[in-house]
Amino acid sequence: MPEERNDEKKDDLSVYIGNSPKINYITASMLIIKKNRFVSLKARGRAINAAVDVAEILKNKFVPEAEYEDIRLNTELRPNPDGKTSNVSSIEIDLIIPETERQKLQ
């Protein structure tokens, strides 16, 4: 992701994947990437599968000029209600439209 994006701006360019229908996330991602040429898909736990599906559908069907800029994986130890800890994985998938492709779209 380019250096000029600050943390507040980064949140505006992010789509948090959860349990809603995938088309909702695809639509939100399309709006962001077409306007800003960058979108970050974020998910934790069981939503990781949906995030990968959204990224692939977005890239292959709706925004074929998009490319993967970065994919980050992380695991956190989270406390359970019973006092034990569990590993919770997360993923961030950054998609970008290269500047050369962006000029073709305009």
Domain map (residue ranges) of the chain: 7-105
Total-model pTM:
0.83
For residues 71 and 55, what is the distance between their CA atoms, to the nearest angstrom? Answer: 11
CATH 3.30.110.20 fits 7-105, yes or no: yes
Q: Which residue has the tokens 């559908």?
A: 57
pLDDT one-digit tens code per residue, 57-75 = 999 999 999 999 999 999 9
Average pLDDT, the chain: 88
